[in-house]
Structure 1
C-alpha cells in the first residue's frame, strides 16, 4: 500500500523546510503536531496508526460546555496554581484596599467560576474586555431588583388579600455621614405555614424633606406601591418604636410599639443621670470606669493575655452594657492581676467586684427579654405580656438588693409602667396560645371577658352565613417532636387527633379550646376538622358549621 493510499495519512503529514522541500524520514501528527520517525522502506505505518488511535485530540469526548456543567467533575487545582491565586488575592486586598473576605462568599465564587469557565472555552482573554463597567453593574442591579419585585407581586397580593400581614419599620441616621435611612419590612405566613419576612426597602431619606409625619406616611406607601400592595396599607398591622413622628404618621392604622425597643429605652432612661437619683453619680462613675478600662486593654497588649475579649458598650446596640460589664465581671481577678503587675490597679477605681456582679444579674433579665422578643422566624406577639410581667416582677424590691440596685429598680419600674403599651392584640395572641389561654397574667377579669367577647366577634363575623377567615397563631406548645404534618388521611378529625398526640398536645384540650372560643356546646359534632397542616409551630385549619354558614380559622 502506498503512502498516499493509506488512511493514516488523513491524520499525519510530511514535514517540509522553509523552502517547502520535504524532509525525508519524518512525519507529524496533524492534531497534536508530535513528530515521528518514518521510513517507508524499513517500516510500515503501524506506529503512526497506533498513535492516531490514542491521540487525545482524536478521542470522542464531550464538549467543554458539557464538561463544565458537571460540578462533580471539577478538577482539584495544582499547588502552584493555588499559590499563584493566593498571591493575586493578596495583591487585590492591598492594591484595591478591599476587605480580606472580598475573595469569599457565594457571589464571588460564582463570578470566579464563571471566569474560569470562559477561559476554558475561549482560551486566554483580556479580562479588562470581559469584566463589565461599574455603571453597567449598577444598571444590572436595578434591573435584577425590578425583576424580583415583579415576581413577588403575585405572592404578596395573594397572602395579603386574606388580611394577613404586618410591617416593621424604622428610621436611623448614619453616625459618620449623617445620612438618614428608612427601612420597611413585610411579614406574613405563606401557604407552607412558614413565617416569611421581606425587606421591601432600605432607602436613603431625601435630605430636602423634613422627617415629619406628613412626609413619612407617603414614603411608607411608596415602598408598598413598588410591590403593588399599597392598597393594603390600612389593613396591615405596623410594629415600630415610639418615636413621635412615626407614631403620628401611622395614627390612622393599627400600630404596636416594639416591646424590645421599649425595654432598651427603659434601661437607657434608667441609667441616664437625673437630679432625683440618690446614686446616679456612683452608677455613672462605674459605667465610665468600665468603658475606660476596656479601651485601655484594647490599646495595649493586655487584651491578648485575657481568655475572653473585653467588650465595650455602645448606646445604639441593645444589651451592650450588660455585655461589657459581664466581660469584666467574669475576668475580674485576672484583670486585677494584670494591672497589679503594671502598678496600675487604680484603673479599677469605681469598679467593685460585688457591685459588678449585682449589675450583671440586674441586666440579665432584660437581655433575655429582648432576645426572646426580637425573633423573626417564630411568632412573638403572645410573649409581650409574659415578658412585661416577668420584668415587673424582676424589678420588685428584694432584701438581698444593695442600695444602688434597689434605687435602680424603683426608678426603672416607674419608667417601664409609663412607657409600656399593652394592646388588645397582645391579649388576643396570649389567649390563643395553649399554655397561656387561662390568661392568669391578666389580673383584671373584665379584660379577660373582653378578650373572650372580641374573639367570638372576630370568629363569627358580622352576619349569619358569612364566611370569615381569621388567622390565629399558636406556636411552641409541645412541639419538641415537630410541627403538624399535612393531611394524609381520609378522616381529617382522626388525622388531627394522631398529629396532636404526636406533638404532645391533648386532643380533649384542643376540642375544649375550640368550642370555648366559638361559644358552642362542648361536643365534637359542633365542628369538624377540614385540614391539618403546618411547617412552623402548631398551626391547624379548623372549619365549623354556624347558623348554616361555613366558618374557618387557622389556629
Structure 2
C-alpha cells in the first residue's frame, strides 16, 4: 500500500481497480469487508455472490457533463435484484470508480481510460463485465472519517501558522507524508517516539548546507561539457523584495548538450549585500564569487544575456565581455517611450521598471508634443481599464463575474510591473468579460466605472498591442532556442498582413495610427547583435535571409567563417601532442633521406657532361624568347585565343562548409521549427 510516489498518500477520491484471475470467486462477509473499503459495503450480512454492472448514463439535462457518455452509476445485483449505488460512478470500459457527490468532479473529467475492453475475459457483454474482477486493489483508500480528520488537521495548521493553502499541493509535503506512512508499516509492532524523528533547526540548517554543496558539485560536473563547447549561456537578473527591502541576484543557465538537447535551470540565487551599492564593480565582484563556486574562472568562458541596466553594462565592460541584450526588456522600453513620450534611460533593471502610469489622460505624460483628441482617447481607454480592474479586485467581484459569464469566463487580470506586456492581458480580460462585468457592476450599482469604456475602444487598443504580445509569446520558449526569431518579430508591420486586419487598417482610427507609427519608429531604432544574424543564417528555414540587405548577409557569412576558423584552431591545439609526435617522426625520415641523397649527388658531381651544360644554355635562351613573346601576347587582341597557354597565380574558388550549406536544397521534411532537430 505504501508507495514511493509522493501523491500516493493523498488520494483524489479515485478507486484504481486491477483485474482478478477469476471473475466468479465467492467471498464471505469478512473477505468482502477486507476487500472493499467502501462505506456502502460495510452493511453486507449475506454470504452470497455479489455482482456489479455499469451502463453509461448518457448526457441528459440533469447530467450535462461530457464524461457522462462513458460513466454511469454502479449497479449491485443481489439475489437477482438490482440496486443502484448513487454515491459512486464508474467507467464502463476500465471500471475505474470515483466518489460522486457535492465535491469537485475534476478528477472524473480528467479520467484517461487505459484498460482495453477486450481485456475482460468474460462471456458477458462488454458493457456488463462484473466489477468483482477489478476490486482486488494493490492500493486501498483510507476511510472517509480518516480523510476528514486529516483535512481538519491541515485546516488548523494553515490557519494557526498562517501557511499558504497552496502548501497542500506541494509535492515535498506529500513525499514526507508517504515516508511517514512507510515508517508506520515497517514499525507497526513497535511503540515508537514520533518526536525523535524531528530534528532541530540547526541540524536541518546544516543538512541544507550539505545538500547544497552536493548538488553544486553535481551541477559543476554537468556544465563542464557545455563550457568546453562554448554552448553555455548565463542570464543574470536582479530584483527587489520591496516588503523586506532586500535585493536578490539570480543566475539562469541555458545550454545545449552534446546530444543537441536544450536545458534550462536556475544555477544560483543569493541576496545582494545590503552594505554594497548596486554598481557595476560590486556586481562584477559578486558574479565572480558565484561563478568560481561552479568552476567558471573567466567571464568569457560562457555567453551572457542581460538587460540594458547601466550597472550590468559597466560590469561586462570591466570584464571585456559583450552580452546579448534581452529583447523583452527592449520591447517594454519601446512601449514606455511610446505612451509616456519621455526620454527615459535606455538602460534599466527589473527593479527599475515602472508600469505605464494610470493617469495617462493628463497632458504632462506626453511632454510638449502635440497630441490629437483621438490619441488622448487611447490613453483614456488604458486609464479607464486599469481603474475598472482595480475596483473589481478590491470589491471581490471576480467571482460574480465568472458566475454570470458561464464556464469559459475568466477573471479580470490586473496590469502589473513584473509581467511583460500585462497591459495587453488586462485589456483582453476586460473585453472578453465585458457583458458579465457590466451585469456584476449593475448588481452593485457601480456602472460608472464602465460608462466611458466602449468595446470598440478596447478592440483598437488590442489591435495596437497584439503584434508586440505575439512577438513576446514567440520568443519566450523554455524548450527551444529563440535567438533566430528576433529579427522577424521586430517587423511590427508584418503582423498586419492578415486580410481581416488589413481591412481594419483601411479605416484605422487616427489615434491608433498615431501610436502605431510611434511604436514602429521605436522598433526601427533597435540594432541587433551580429550573433542574432548568425543564428538566423544557421537556422535551416531562414538560411537564405531574404529580407536582409546584401551587406548584412556578407558580414554575417564572414563572421560565421571566422567562428569556424576559431573552432578549427581550438581543435588543432587539442591535437598538438599527436602532431608533435608525427613531426618528430617526419624529421627523422627527412634526415635519413637527405643523408642518402647527398651520397648520390657526390657521385653525380664527379662526372659532369658538356652536353648537359649546352642543354642549360638552350633552355635559358628559350625562356627569354618565351618571356618576350608572352609580353607581346598579353597586349595584343589575340590574347584571348585558346592557342596560347598562360602562367598565372589564380586558383579556382573552392566552396567551404558554409557555401555548401547555403547552396544545399534542404528537404521540407528535415526543416523543423526547432533548429536542434536539424
* TM-score interval (norm. to shorter): 0.5 to 0.7
Q: Does 2:278 correspond to 1:278?
A: no
Question: Deviation at 1:464?
Answer: 8.7
Matched residue, 1:47: none
Q: 1:340 to 1:186 in 2, by over 3 A?
A: closer
Matched residue, 1:207: 274
Q: Does 2:255 correspond to 1:188?
A: yes
Question: Deviation at 1:265?
Answer: 2.0
Matched residue, 1:80: 145
Correspondence list, 1:469-480, <5 A = none
Question: Deviation at 1:242?
Answer: 0.9
Correspondence list, 1:122-137, <5 A = 122=187, 123-137=190-204
Q: Does 2:463 correspond to 1:361?
A: yes
Answer yes or no: is the 8 Å Cα contact 1:200–1:224 preserved in 2.
no
Matched residue, 1:545: none
Ranges in structure 1 where 5+ consecutive residues have no aligned partner: 1-71, 470-513, 525-532, 541-554
Q: Does 2:395 correspond to 1:289?
A: no
Distance (Å, rounded) in 2 between the aligned partners of 1:332 and 1:534: 43
Equivalent residue in structure 2 for 1:237, among 303, 311, 317? 303
Q: Aligned to 1:294, what secondary structure does the other structure show? A: helix
Answer yes or no: is the 8 Å Cα contact 1:184–1:200 preserved in 2.
yes
Correspondence list, 1:506-521, <5 A = 517-519=657-659
Question: Deviation at 1:411?
Answer: 2.2
Answer yes or no: is the 8 Å Cα contact 2:261–2:676 preserved in 1.
no
Distance (Å, rounded) in 2 between the aligned partners of 1:464 and 1:99: 56
Question: Deviation at 1:174?
Answer: 1.6
Equivalent residue in structure 2 for 1:379, among 470, 481, 492? 481
Q: 1:310 to 1:124 in 2, by over 3 A?
A: farther
Matched residue, 1:401: 508
Question: Deviation at 1:370?
Answer: 0.9
Q: 1:208 to 1:313 in 2, by over 3 A?
A: same
| TM-score calculated relative to the size of structure 2 | 0.56
Matched residue, 1:261: 329
Matched residue, 2:154: 89
Q: Aligned to 1:98, what secondary structure does the other structure show? A: coil
Matched residue, 1:434: 540
Answer yes or no: is the 8 Å Cα contact 2:307–2:325 preserved in 1.
yes
Answer yes or no: is the 8 Å Cα contact 1:167–1:236 preserved in 2.
yes
Q: 1:131 to 1:369 in 2, by over 3 A?
A: same
Distance (Å, rounded) in 1 between the aligned partners of 2:245 and 2:493: 35
Distance (Å, rounded) in 2 between the aligned partners of 1:337 and 1:274: 35
Question: Deviation at 1:90?
Answer: 1.6
Q: Root-mean-square deviation (CA), in Å?
A: 3.3
CA deviation map 1:474-499 (0-9, x unaligned): xxxxxxxxxxxxxxxxxxxxxxxxxx
Answer yes or no: is the 8 Å Cα contact 1:460–1:518 preserved in 2.
no
Question: Deviation at 1:437?
Answer: 1.1
Answer yes or no: is the 8 Å Cα contact 1:152–1:227 preserved in 2.
yes
Distance (Å, rounded) in 1 between the aligned partners of 2:434 and 2:158: 39
Answer yes or no: is the 8 Å Cα contact 2:225–2:257 preserved in 1.
no
Larger C-alpha radius of gyration, 1 or 2? 2
Q: Which moved more, 1:444-453 or 1:380-389?
A: 444-453
Q: Aligned to 1:229, what secondary structure does the other structure show? A: coil
Matched residue, 2:184: 119
Q: Which moved more, 1:299-308 or 1:99-108?
A: 299-308
Question: Deviation at 1:522?
Answer: 10
Question: Deviation at 1:518?
Answer: 3.2
Answer yes or no: is the 8 Å Cα contact 2:428–2:462 preserved in 1.
yes
Q: Does 2:546 correspond to 1:446?
A: no
| TM-score calculated relative to the size of structure 1 | 0.68
Q: Aligned to 1:168, what secondary structure does the other structure show? A: strand
Residues matched between the structures, number: 415
Question: Deviation at 1:436?
Answer: 0.9
Matched residue, 2:229: 162
CA deviation map 1:111-141 (0-9, x unaligned): 1122222233344433333212233222211
Question: Deviation at 1:158?
Answer: 2.2
Q: Does 2:309 correspond to 1:248?
A: no
Distance (Å, rounded) in 2 between the aligned partners of 1:184 and 1:539: 24
Answer yes or no: is the 8 Å Cα contact 2:305–2:326 preserved in 1.
yes
Ranges in structure 2 where 5+ consecutive residues have no aligned partner: 1-136, 341-364, 575-653, 665-669
Q: 1:335 to 1:175 in 2, by over 3 A?
A: same
Q: Aligned to 2:163, what secondary structure does the other structure show? A: coil
Distance (Å, rounded) in 1 between the aligned partners of 2:290 and 2:220: 13
Answer yes or no: is the 8 Å Cα contact 1:310–1:327 preserved in 2.
yes
Distance (Å, rounded) in 2 between the aligned partners of 1:341 and 1:448: 62
Answer yes or no: is the 8 Å Cα contact 1:188–1:197 preserved in 2.
yes
Equivalent residue in structure 2 for 1:330, among 432, 436, 444? 432
Distance (Å, rounded) in 2 between the aligned partners of 1:131 and 1:536: 51
Matched residue, 2:528: 422
CA deviation map 1:217-256 (0-9, x unaligned): 121122111111224x213221111111111211211301
Q: 1:97 to 1:416 in 2, by over 3 A?
A: same
Q: 1:229 to 1:464 in 2, by over 3 A?
A: closer
Q: Does 2:399 correspond to 1:304?
A: yes
CA deviation map 1:69-123 (0-9, x unaligned): xxx9554323332222222222211222212232332211221122222233344
Correspondence list, 1:1-20, <5 A = none
CA deviation map 1:360-380 (0-9, x unaligned): 111111111111112122010
Distance (Å, rounded) in 2 between the aligned partners of 1:453 and 1:516: 12
Q: 1:463 to 1:197 in 2, by over 3 A?
A: closer
Distance (Å, rounded) in 2 between the aligned partners of 1:364 and 1:389: 13
Distance (Å, rounded) in 1 between the aligned partners of 2:265 and 2:293: 13
Correspondence list, 1:19-34, <5 A = none
